[in-house]
């Protein structure tokens, strides 16, 4: 019998968590497929950089993380976004310099997750950690940089030379390394800034092999 708590949340809540856990996807535009990197913007929609043709394409489907069984399927509409906006800067913080010049918001019209059809409004949710995410990232990146490498090694079995905390949401932490974005899952849902800091402290001690 599993010790894991039963997830009784509605399917839309699980789908939103699934969306936030990923930063890469496959975008179907008409009959063509392209690999894209994304971040979830301040309003809760995926943000990408891409060619202008995507802005003019009436039929877009985003498969997260790919067009395989178990993916989150989102029917989206691409809307041009200011390339100097906070959401565009967030994309660069995660992924570096974009190959395409046009920043696009992929507004979610509807989605499908685990066989359940969901409304776009259900899936477009701002990150509850937005207000304190910058402070937590600054704290870790300025004072606990070496611990970030330990987190990647201990919780994901990935050795990295450099690591930078770039994102916090209720389900976990996004760490940028040369290999890309490494997702470190939270021990439990993050309730606030103090909770996020305390959880990172605990996880860092565990990663360093320090007993509580």
What is the model's pLDDT at position 150?
Answer: 95
Domain ranges of the chain: 11-123, 133-208
Task: Using alpha carbons, select from 103, 111, 51, 42 the residue that is nearest to residue 76.
Answer: 111
Are 46 and 54 in contact by the 8 Å Cβ rule? The answer is no
Contacts of 209 (CB under 8 A, 6+ apart): none
- Phi/psi at 39 (nearest 5 deg)? -130, 160
Average pLDDT estimate for 87-111: 96
Confidence of residue 5 (pLDDT cuts 50, 70, 90): low
Task: Using alpha carbons, select from 87, 165, 168, 185 the residue that is nearest to residue 129.
Answer: 168
C-alpha dihedral (185, 188, 190, 196), degrees to nearest 10: -70
Q: Where do we find the tokens 């995507």?
A: 54
Confidence of residue 34 (pLDDT cuts 50, 70, 90): very high
Average pLDDT estimate for 93-117: 95
Confidence of residue 4 (pLDDT cuts 50, 70, 90): very low
Are 146 and 129 in contact by the 8 Å Cβ rule? The answer is no
To the question of domain 133-208 being in CATH 3.40.190.10, the answer is no
Q: What is the pTM of this model?
A: 0.91
**How far is the C-alpha of 79 from the C-alpha of 114, rounded, in Å?**
27
38-87: pLDDT as tens digits: 999 999 999 999 998 888 888 899 999 987 888 999 999 999 999 899 99
Q: Is the pLDDT of residue 30 over 90?
A: no
144-201: pLDDT as tens digits: 889 999 999 999 999 999 999 999 999 999 999 998 999 999 999 999 999 999 999 9
Confidence of residue 211 (pLDDT cuts 50, 70, 90): low
**How far is the C-alpha of 44 from the C-alpha of 108, rounded, in Å?**
9
Q: What is the CATH number of domain 11-123?
A: 2.30.110.10
Parallel, antiparallel, or unpaired: how do β-strands 39-40 and 172-177 relate? Answer: unpaired
- Alpha carbon separation from 13 to 16, 54, 125, 171 (Å, rounded): 5, 28, 9, 11
What is the model's pLDDT at position 2?
Answer: 39
**How far is the C-alpha of 184 from the C-alpha of 172, rounded, in Å?**
6
Q: Is the pLDDT of residue 120 over 80?
A: yes
């Amino acid at each position: 019998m599993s010790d894991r708590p039963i997830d009784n949340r509605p399917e839309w809540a699980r789908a939103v968590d699934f969306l936030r856990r990923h930063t890469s996807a496959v975008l179907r535009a008409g009959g063509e497929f392209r690999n894209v990197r994304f971040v979830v913007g301040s309003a809760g929609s995926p943000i990408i950089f891409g060619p202008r043709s995507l802005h003019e394409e009436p039929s877009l489907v985003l498969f997260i993380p790919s067009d395989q069984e178990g993916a989150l399927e989102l029917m989206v509409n691409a809307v041009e976004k200011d390339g100097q906006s906070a959401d565009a800067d967030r994309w660069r913080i995660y992924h570096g310099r974009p190959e395409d010049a046009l920043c696009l918001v992929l507004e979610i019209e509807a989605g499908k997750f685990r066989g359940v059809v969901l409304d776009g409004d259900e899936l477009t949710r701002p990150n509850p950690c937005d207000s304190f995410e910058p402070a937590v990232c600054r704290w870790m990146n300025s004072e606990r940089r070496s611990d970030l490498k330990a987190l990647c090694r201990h919780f994901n079995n990935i050795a990295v030379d450099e690591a930078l905390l770039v994102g916090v949401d209720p389900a976990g932490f996004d760490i940028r390394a040369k290999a890309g974005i490494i997702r470190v899952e939270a021990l439990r849902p993050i309730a606030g800034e103090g909770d996020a800091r305390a959880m990172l402290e605990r996880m860092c001690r565990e990663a360093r092999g320090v007993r509580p």
